[in-house]
Amino acid sequence: MSFRNLRRYDRGYLGLHLVIGLLVFAAMTLILGEISEDIIKGEPLTVADVQISNWLHTHRSPHLTTGFLIVTSFGSSIPVSLIAITVGVYLLRRRQPYWVAAIWSSVFGGMLLNKYLKLVFYRPRPRFDDPILMLTTYSFPSGHTMAATVLYGVLALLLVTTIKSRSLRVLVVLAASCLIGLVGFSRMYLGAHYLSDVLGAFAEGLAWLSLCLTAVYSMWRQRNK
């Protein structure tokens, strides 16, 4: 499990990883900015937010609620932190410090970034007379969705660089994407977030993940020229 395995994705073009990483970062940051602007200005997206939240709330069921409470735990700070620490310690023992830096900077740095953005936008959470969850923190962007995006995104890349089978690599990416999507949807179903909170968190997570991976990989390449 080494950053050397990423060389086969460079295809010999100097700095290609840097260009791609910065393009993803710029695109996702732009999307996050557009979503936040819609929220601030009360654009039609916010109307859809309320309509979708109300529909999900009125169509909830005990079995679905139980299932999504389990799913949403995959984006909770404690499980995410424990997974990141466990994998990081394992990689340290395997002498893979750059992967440790990539995982820990993505996950723990992402959590701090999300807390900061919540304080910047201070958007109230959806309100219901009979809520499933009672939360007092701010809504935008979704912390669970962001944490899931950076954690399972970086773990998927870690696995992709070690698996030789193309079909298995595709399966890993699809599994990670489905898990991230389910965590995001669970936040909406449970009434903790609006659609725009989840979409903003996806964009935030991908932007931060691409920035961390690009920075760490660039440091590795400079040291291993």
**Catalytic positions:** 144, 193
Closest to 102 in 3D by CA, of 6, 26, 198, 201: 6
Cβ pair 105, 219 in contact under 8 A: no
Phi, psi of 125 (to 5 degrees): -80, 165
Q: What distance lies between CA 215 and its chain's CA centroid?
A: 18
d(CA 105, CA 84): 10
Cβ pair 202, 16 in contact under 8 A: no
Tokens at 60, concatenated: 């909830």
d(CA 198, CA 72): 12
DSSP 17: H
